[in-house]
Amino acid sequence: MCMGTTTCHAPRFRDPRFYQVAVLGLLLCYGIVALDFGIRWQNALAILAAAQFTQFLGTRAAGLSRFDPLSALITSMSLTLLLRTDVIALATLAAVIAIGSKFLIRIRGKHVFNPANAALVSLMLISDKAWVSSGQWGSAAIGALALACLGFMVLTRAKRSETTIAFATTYAVLLVGRALWLEDPLTIPLHQMQNGALLIFAFFMISDPKTSPDARGGRLLFGALVASIAYTIQFIFYEPNGPILALIMSAPFVPLIDAVLQGQLYRWKQPAGNPATQIKGVF
């Protein structure tokens, strides 16, 4: 993505989403080529096309001045990485729900639900033909994935990564606390954290600056809230997909948190001529 110094310093590449596209693209290639973990290229194409088309329609309907394909591309890649289905129509529907929810469900100028998250949960609710395969990354892949994610944060000098940090810390503390209470060996919480879907969730979904609170304190609170709900779903109710369900359940609290804790609304790009504030956050 960022092959030359000149290119990297060009203003349009200051948008952190380019890094995100690069990392997600690498993950997708690795998943398809090396892991063979059930991603169908037909689904990938359907999701990609449907997301861009819906983004285009939404842009027109909302009367926005310019069509921005980047966010829809990132949503497509997250969906492709996490969603499994044998039905292309469902994959297409997922992309439409994801991007559609962004334009339709808005409070105080922000969309409420993370697009990929809304699509995953909707599909799991309406059909038993769609699921999330969270254990398919394998331990070797996890290390590479964790490195890619951390590298991504460093590269983008993440200023909005509080949500990720709060989520990961709270979740880790809960898992280790549970192991200590159960007198389990610590290899168990360590193994529970080595989950590819969990990492993708933490670094590429919950961190979405558009659907997290505007204030720093709010983001910390939000990350901890999602982690607590995820833990409850996964280890008290013993249901799978705890984090993904937790995020959608926590999303309605964001407007409340924003009402209490004021912060600056996130924009992907700041006006030109103000390079110091161009990178406002991770994503």
| Binding residues for other proteins (CB under 8 A) | 36-38, 84-86, 127-131, 133-140, 181-185, 187-188, 191-192, 195, 237-240
| Secondary structure (3-state) at 102 | helix
> Which CB sits closer to other proteins, 173 or 188?
188
Smallest separation, CB 83 to other proteins (Å): 11
State the alpha helices, DSSP H only, in 109-195. 115-126, 138-155, 162-182, 187-193
Question: In terms of C-beta density within 10 A (0-12 exposed, 13-18 middle, 19 or more buried), how is residue 263 classed?
Answer: middle
First to last CA, the chain: 16
Smallest separation, CB 191 to other proteins (Å): 5
Q: Give the count of beta carbons closer than 10 Å to the beta carbon of residue 73.
A: 19
> Which CB sits closer to other proteins, 183 or 271?
183
> Which CB sits closer to other proteins, 136 or 169?
136
> Which CB sits closer to other proteins, 136 or 278?
136
Smallest separation, CB 139 to other proteins (Å): 5
> Which CB sits closer to other proteins, 23 or 130?
130
> Which CB sits closer to other proteins, 36 or 109?
36
Two tokens at 104? Answer: 């339709």
Smallest separation, CB 194 to other proteins (Å): 9
Reference 119, options 158, 92, 88, 155; nearest CA is: 92
The rounded distance, in Å, linking the Cα atoms of 106 and 244 is 20
The rounded distance, in Å, linking the Cα atoms of 102 and 72 is 10
Smallest separation, CB 277 to other proteins (Å): 42
Two tokens at 239? Answer: 């249901």
Smallest separation, CB 195 to other proteins (Å): 7
Residue for token digits 């297409």? Answer: 92
Cβ atoms 100, 58 nearer than 8 A: yes
